[in-house]
Amino acid sequence: MSATEAPERIGPYRLLRQLGEGGMGVVYLGLDEEGREVAVKVLHPHVASDLKARDRLTREVETMRRVRSKRVAEVVDADLTGAAPYIVTRYAPGRTLEQTVLEDGPLGDDGVIRLAVGLCEALVAIHAADVIHRDLKPANVMLVDGEPLVIDFGIAHLVNATRLTQTGMFVGTPGYLAPEIIRDTEITQAADVHALGATVFFAATGKAPFGSGTFESVCYNILEGKAQIDLAPAWLRGWLRSALAPEASARPTAVALLEITRTLDPSVTVLQESPHGSPRDGGTRILDSTRVLDEPVRGDGDRGSRTGRLPADDSFSDLLPPVNYVEPERPPREPRAPKQRRPVSAPPPAHPHAPPYGQAGPPPYQPAPFQPYTDQRVAGYPEPRVAPPPAPAAPYRPEPERAPYRAPHPVLATLLLATLVGLACLLPVMVSLFAVVLVLCLRVGQYLLGDLAERRATRGSSGADPLLAVLGTPWALIKAVLATAVQVPLAVMFAMCAWGGFHYIGGIRPDPAAAYAAGAFVAGLFILPGGKAPRKAVSRTLSAVIRSPGAGMITAIVVGTVALFTVMTALSADASWVPWRPPSVAVDHIVVELKRKGQDTVVNLIGGVIGDIMDRIGLGFMTFWT
């Protein structure tokens, strides 16, 4: 492990020293703002310059954050939009599995089992979050007090890691790649199971599972499924064969492999035996001297030095000349009551997913007591009877995290608008001015947060988002002012139409009709064309504030009660025009002044009313037309 000093900072993290370097970037030991140790991986320039890769990498990192397991060094932070993109994970002090095996030798039997169980538990959590690691290997597994910890998520595939070469450089470690990755075909979670088996093989033997020759020879061995399983302990070979199966569909899932791993026992080696050596209880015999079917077989039936592998059906018929059937010598058995005898029937076929016979397996696949069948013996061992496995148990799936409560609350927003309209009918001038300012602020917030939400949906969150929001505030304010300046006259015309309807059609006196027109003006700011941005801002605010259905219901009841009393009061009480005068008095005074000046037109009347209101509230300097 390198100890190169790196005193500079990146983002909010202070880098202490370099821990290592890989194809994606350089890993440093860093400290966060609270002084906690973290591992900071800074991407290489050739990776950071690929904009498409960075966008895809951002989405993948957000997915990785869902993985929560003590076996996985989870991602705690990332910034993939800056000049020096980086990913931050939990730091685990210790040595990698690769360093441990190269320095101290292969792990013991108990250490191999602890490693296999831990890695299976890590894959269960990773796959439950719909993530594929894709780069599981001894260098990416830390040993902390003997327990494995998966680090450095395999994100190289996001820069086209399914290709074997890229700009003259191989991406990934070929000895731990699944065949489908080399073929550049569809990659599934079964690729992680293959890498797990290769990693455990290395821990048990100290050697690469597919040899250490040239790149081409290693890839050929992987594609042909020629793993050096004979080098592994006998009790582990069946487990390795299932995990390192060349076809992805033949490999067990991480959940199934975990169940099988928990049954591994280094002290038990399951062997096929001749009838002469069958145990008295009819069960499987356990020998101290290990003999497995992968041992060499001579032409005369004795085991010799010439290597050879038995066919898949465990038959010797293609290796030995046929012989006459003979009556097998039955070993003495304990006397058994007649009621315990079972009728002899043909043996059931072997289960397609059972481990190879001759290797230890989980309880559902252990051979049942049997007697040899004379008509099935051709100078060899009897065909095993395998008990049919029970119905598969439901796969283990960690309980998913509950998604945060998000709802637009349209009913609550309508009740709030009704309350505001009622208040506008009671205090027309003050509430109308307040509504204009409120709409302006809502537009600014929607322009800023809407753009931010679109950026995060495209490339994920970033540490630069607050800075972009601050820099975008002036432009959002300019757009909001222009949009409000266009919408306010539209709302004023809507209010004038409402006043005419209340006064001339409904027969309401001018002043109460003007109060109701103020309510129409406030409603028009939200419901007329151009009111979409304020409405979306209100909906976004309610979704952020109300975090549960119960809170939404209580809030709706309270606001509904306030809206009811406000509307009832507005219908029965007289409006207060403070700080303006009642419209009838103000209009009469303005008409007299316009007649005196000879400017008694409808346009001048409207401008005079607006100018009089602006004078009363202290904004007369804005009435440039008077």
Tokens 């292969």 sit on residue: 106
Sign, CA dihedral 63-65-67-71, equals positive
Closest to 580 (Cα-Cα) out of 445, 437, 481, 432: 432
Distance CA 272, CA 357 (A): 8
Q: What is the SS3 assignment for 553-564? A: HHHHHHHHHHHH
Choice among 135, 152, 192, 612 that is catalytic: 135
Q: Say if residues 261 and 358 touch (Cβ distance below 8 Å).
A: no
- Coil, strand or helix at 170: strand
Distance CA 543, CA 535 (A): 12
Distance CA 522, CA 426 (A): 12
Q: Say if residues 559 and 423 touch (Cβ distance below 8 Å).
A: no
Cα→Cα distances 332→276, 327, 384, 431, 550, Å: 10, 15, 20, 104, 75
Type of residue found at 376: Q
Alpha helices by DSSP H, listed for 153-304, are: 179-183, 190-205, 215-224, 234-243, 254-261
Q: What is the SS3 assignment for 518-540? A: HHHHHHHHHHCCCCHHHHHHHHH
Tokens of 108: 């013991």
Type of residue found at 335: P
Strands (E) in 73-192, as ranges, are 75-79, 86-90, 95-96, 141-144, 147-150, 165-166, 169-170
∠ CA 503-509-510, nearest 5°, is 70
Distance CA 101, CA 32 (A): 32
Closest to 41 (Cα-Cα) out of 91, 101, 2: 91
Distance CA 594, CA 600 (A): 5
Query: DSSP of 563-605, one letter per residue?
Result: HHHHHHHHHHSPP--TTS--HHHHHHHHHHHHHHHT---HHHH
Distance CA 523, CA 541 (A): 19
- Coil, strand or helix at 197: helix
Task: Based on the residue annotation, tell me whether 135 is a catalytic residue of this protein.
Answer: yes
Catalytic residues, which ones? Answer: 135
